[in-house]
A and B are shown apart, each in its own frame.
Chain A
């Protein structure tokens, strides 16, 4: 009963999204901290690859007999490992930027853009998660809000 409550609908999907954006925030913050570290190469987590894995899992679940219930089954890749309790991500180094003389290929604008995008995605995911839990709470209590 309790498992079915948390394993149905978009809750597991949103959980993964928030896990991913949380991890990516750490990576981006690390990039900012090492902006002027010699020999440092900025790293990033690929949103496209994560979404590809997520899309595959969601579509696999939709193809089953219970399209809106059940665990999402992920395939681990080199970059992402999906554990039951969290997401383990390996940031990949970016090597398309200009290499500075201190062997750091930083790109401040791009880092800032990534940070802003990631923050938006994180907030949107949290907002959605909140509304899902609110709905559950409402249904359990049987009263409004």
Chain B
């Protein structure tokens, strides 16, 4: 059947694959995924360190604001859970990509 609207055009938009020639990596702006991940890991680590220090200070009587201590701990825990969940989803995505047959 003819193509009255001209929608079907094999040479439009997609460049034909040329064997032996690697695809050029697209240019991206901003920091890479690895940098973002590492930054967040550092952040979580710092939050956890702060929470530990807060616990120790509370136990030794150096500080007695239990609200601040609990707040620091909860923040650290939630941040850690978030990071862990990001990691879980990332591993899921990797597993899915691994299943693709080429």
A-side interface residues toward B, CB under 8 Å?
9-10, 13-14, 16-17, 47-48, 51, 54-55, 58, 68, 124-125, 128, 131-132, 134-135, 138-139, 142-144
- A125 contacts B73, C-beta separation under 8 Å: no
- B55 contacts A128, C-beta separation under 8 Å: yes
A42 to B58, CA, bound (A): 28
B-side interface residues toward A, CB under 8 Å?
49, 52, 55-56, 58-62, 66, 73, 77, 80-81, 84-85, 88
Question: A143 to chain B: which residues have CB within 8 Å?
Answer: 84, 88
The B interface is mostly helix, strand or loop, or mixed, namely helix
A65 to B77, CA, bound (A): 26
The A interface is mostly helix, strand or loop, or mixed, namely helix
- A124 contacts B66, C-beta separation under 8 Å: yes
- Chain B, Cβ-Cβ closest to A17: B59
- B80 contacts A144, C-beta separation under 8 Å: no
